[in-house]
């Protein structure tokens, strides 16, 4: 009888600790459930506005909780999840991305006469999957989180039901995504068979003590599946079609959110779960990185669609980021975190401008659609210039600092050949980013200025300010990425 109350107290204490580790995910899940109920009982017009507010508040609360609980991280649910600094960093990033998406997409959805509430509910589900993926430390929680994210994005890609290209993109994404998930699941099954555990920390211990040849197949299967998720060549074929077919707010959201979540998954599985096989998975990822740098930059040169150009740019960016993953160590992983945050603000900012310029009859997609934008909207032309130059890696933008740190980590860890290839690829990228800017500042056919949604303009301005501020004063983000401390020391 004496042990009974003690056991009850311990159970409640453990439950409270576990809940605190996943509090941001719970907050976003609660927002999702509330939004579903509101959409069910309110009319379509009223529900859209209310659900948008609920979504924005949910993202903000999730990000706020991640900051408040920054230093209280640890394992939860018997190793299935964690609230460590890596998870908190990306929970803040995904929360900010969610708020920005709500603000940018509102005017777009109204102009295109799309259902507002369902759109935000789908992206809330995708964001919940991204946050859960950042916190997942078991093969089971990794796969469940990944499928929640993937299925939500399959639906979001085909959200514009009036366009056959949107439906076609959704079907392609579903088919190829299912194929990649099969690779991942097969690799995870073999990894469980070789180690007898699904928890990554236990896998690291047990895999070190065995020389099971299955682990070589695990590295290949997981490498192929994960390369698909980050749009790495030669598993990138879905990317340009899906980017072009999806509605612009969805393209902007998944272009940065999916990539960030996928890179967290790579770090968790390879760096944390299979550290003793670093030579093997570094080789696989190095080949993917090299192919991504070459294919992404060369294919972007010939594109006439801004969406497809940025899709191939995304393939190339995956190659840059893989340098940090391959380098490993504290500096390599910190460089990946820094560049993912930088990529989020500069790439989402570019897509946000395209979203603002889109009218009721279609997306602003062709490079020729941007002709004279710098004259019609000088401030948007300036902001687009900032984003394009940052993506190309020009100083003093955050893109330059991020690439510099990635390349430094690669050189320090002996991957000089890959860094040289990345530098040459960066030089090539200047050409196609400059093509966009030449059209933006072409004043021969300026046309008349359109009325733009103010919340979206504010988001774009804040993103551009972040690109410059983090490039000139990168110390804050560098400190958080390197030490995991908040406030940074």
Average pLDDT (263-288) is 94
Q: How confident is the model at residue 130 (pLDDT cuts 50, 70, 90)?
A: very high
Report the distance separating Cα 211 and Cα 7, nearest Å.
41
Helices (H), ranges, 158-213? 164-195, 200-208
Please report how the helices 85-111 and 44-68 are oriented relative to each other, as an axis angle in degrees rounded to 10.
160
Report the distance separating Cα 289 and Cα 297, nearest Å.
12
Cβ(106)–Cβ(52) below 8 Å? yes
Q: Which two tokens stand for residue 122?
A: 């789908």
Q: Using one digit for the tens of pLDDT, what is the confidence trace for 352-404?
A: 999 999 877 778 889 988 888 888 889 999 999 999 999 999 999 999 999 99
* Phi, then psi, of 75 in degrees rounded to 5: -75, 150
Average pLDDT (195-210) is 88
Q: How confident is the model at residue 483 (pLDDT cuts 50, 70, 90)?
A: low
Please report how the helices 398-412 and 454-472 are oriented relative to each other, as an axis angle in degrees rounded to 10.
40
Lowest mean pLDDT among 13-22, 84-93, 251-260: 13-22
Quick one: which of 376, 331, 330, 336 has its CA closest to 353?
A: 376
Report the distance separating Cα 286 and Cα 238, nearest Å.
21
Q: How far is CA 225 from CA 23, 143, 186, 429, in A?
A: 29, 12, 10, 27
Residue 488 clears pLDDT 50, i.e. is over it:
no
Residue 220 clears pLDDT 70, i.e. is over it:
yes
Q: Which two tokens stand for residue 179?
A: 């194929």
**pLDDT score at 6:** 44
Helices (H), ranges, 75-196? 85-111, 116-135, 139-157, 164-195
Residue 414 clears pLDDT 70, i.e. is over it:
yes
Quick one: which of 248, 244, 440 has its CA closest to 356?
A: 248
In the three-class reduction of DSSP (H, G, I as helix; E, B as strand; rest coil), residue 82 is classed as: strand
The pTM (predicted TM-score) of the whole model is 0.94
**pLDDT score at 489:** 45
Report the distance separating Cα 416 and Cα 53, nearest Å.
48
- Percent share of the chain, pLDDT over 70: 94
Taking the CA atoms of 235, 166, 90 and 178 in sequence, report the sign of the dihedral they define. negative
DSSP letter assigned to residue 246: S
In sequence order, the β-bridge partners of residue 209 are: none
Average pLDDT (280-294) is 96
Please report how the helices 416-440 and 378-392 are oriented relative to each other, as an axis angle in degrees rounded to 10.
160
**What average pLDDT is seen over the chain?**
90
Peptide bond into 396 cis (omega under 30): yes
Residue 487 clears pLDDT 90, i.e. is over it:
no
Let me know how many helices (H) and strands (E) the chain has, helices first.
20, 2
Cβ(73)–Cβ(152) below 8 Å? no
**pLDDT score at 1:** 42
Taking the CA atoms of 265, 268, 270 and 274 in sequence, report the sign of the dihedral they define. negative
Quick one: which of 477, 351, 461, 462 has its CA closest to 402?
A: 477
Residue 11 neighbours by CB under 8 Å, 6+ apart: none
Residue 462: how many other CB atoms lie within 10 Å: 15
Report the distance separating Cα 392 and Cα 345, nearest Å.
14
Contacts of 279-286 with CB under 8 Å at 24 or more apart are 280/216, 280/219, 281/219, 281/222, 281/223, 282/326, 282/328, 284/219, 284/220, 284/223, 285/223, 285/322, 285/325, 285/326, 286/322, 286/326, 286/415, 286/418
Higher pLDDT, 162 or 232: 232
Higher pLDDT, 363 or 174: 174
**pLDDT score at 7:** 47
Q: Using one digit for the tens of pLDDT, what is the confidence trace for 56-102?
A: 999 999 999 999 999 877 888 888 999 999 999 999 999 999 999 99
Helices (H), ranges, 214-328? 214-229, 238-245, 248-266, 278-301, 306-327
Average pLDDT (183-199) is 94
Quick one: which of 148, 104, 188, 25 has its CA closest to 456?
A: 104
Higher pLDDT, 358 or 424: 424
Average pLDDT (160-172) is 90
For tokens 């789908």, what's the residue?
A: 122
In the three-class reduction of DSSP (H, G, I as helix; E, B as strand; rest coil), residue 395 is classed as: coil
Quick one: which of 319, 300, 316 has its CA closest to 308?
A: 300
């Amino acid at each position: 009888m004496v042990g009974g109350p003690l056991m009850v107290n311990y159970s409640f204490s453990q439950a409270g600790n576990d809940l605190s580790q996943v509090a941001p995910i719970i907050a976003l899940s609660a927002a999702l459930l509330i939004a579903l109920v509101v959409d069910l009982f309110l009319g379509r017009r009223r529900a859209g506005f209310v659900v948008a507010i609920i979504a924005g508040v949910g993202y903000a609360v999730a990000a706020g909780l991640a900051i408040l609980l920054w230093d209280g991280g640890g394992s939860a649910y018997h190793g299935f999840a964690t609230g460590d600094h890596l998870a908190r960093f990306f929970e803040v990033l995904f929360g900010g991305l969610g708020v920005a998406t709500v603000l940018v997409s509102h005017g777009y959805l109204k102009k295109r006469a799309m259902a507002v509430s369902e759109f935000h509910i789908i992206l809330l589900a995708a964001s919940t999957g991204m946050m859960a993926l950042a916190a997942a430390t078991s093969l089971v929680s990794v796969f469940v989180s990944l499928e929640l994210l993937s299925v939500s994005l399959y639906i979001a890609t085909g959200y514009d039901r009036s366009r056959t290209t949107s439906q076609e993109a959704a079907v392609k994404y579903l088919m190829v995504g299912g194929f990649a998930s099969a690779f991942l699941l097969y690799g995870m099954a073999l990894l469980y068979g070789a180690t007898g555990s699904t928890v990554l920390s236990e896998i690291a211990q047990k895999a070190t003590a065995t020389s099971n040849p299955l682990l070589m197949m695990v590295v290949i299967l997981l490498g192929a599946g994960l390369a698909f998720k980050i749009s790495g060549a030669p598993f990138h074929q879905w990317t340009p079609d899906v980017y072009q077919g999806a509605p612009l707010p969805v393209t902007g959201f998944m272009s940065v959110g999916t990539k960030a979540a996928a890179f967290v998954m790579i770090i968790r599985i390879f760096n944390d779960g299979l550290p003793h096989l670093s030579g093997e998975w570094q080789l696989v990822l190095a080949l993917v990185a090299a192919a991504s740098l070459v294919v992404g930059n060369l294919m972007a040169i010939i594109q006439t669609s801004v969406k497809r150009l940025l899709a191939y740019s995304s393939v190339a960016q995956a190659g840059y980021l893989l340098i940090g993953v391959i380098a490993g160590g504290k500096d390599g992983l910190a460089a990946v975190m820094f560049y993912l945050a930088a990529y989020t603000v500069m790439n989402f900012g570019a897509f946000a401008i395209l979203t603002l310029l889109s009218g009721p009859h279609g997306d602003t997609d062709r490079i020729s659609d941007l002709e004279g934008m710098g004259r019609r909207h000088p401030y948007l032309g300036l902001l687009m210039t900032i984003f394009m130059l940052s993506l190309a890696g020009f100083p003093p933008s955050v893109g330059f600092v991020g690439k510099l740190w990635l390349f430094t980590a690669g050189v320090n860890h002996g991957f000089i050949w890959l860094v040289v290839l990345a530098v040459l690829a960066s030089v090539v990228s200047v050409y196609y980013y400059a093509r966009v800017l030449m059209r933006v500042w072409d004043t021969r056919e300026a046309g008349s200025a359109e009325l733009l949604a103010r919340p979206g303009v504010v988001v774009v301005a804040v993103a551009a300010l972040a690109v410059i501020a983090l490039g000139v004063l990168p110390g804050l983000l560098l400190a958080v990425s390197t030490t995991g401390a908040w406030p940074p020391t």
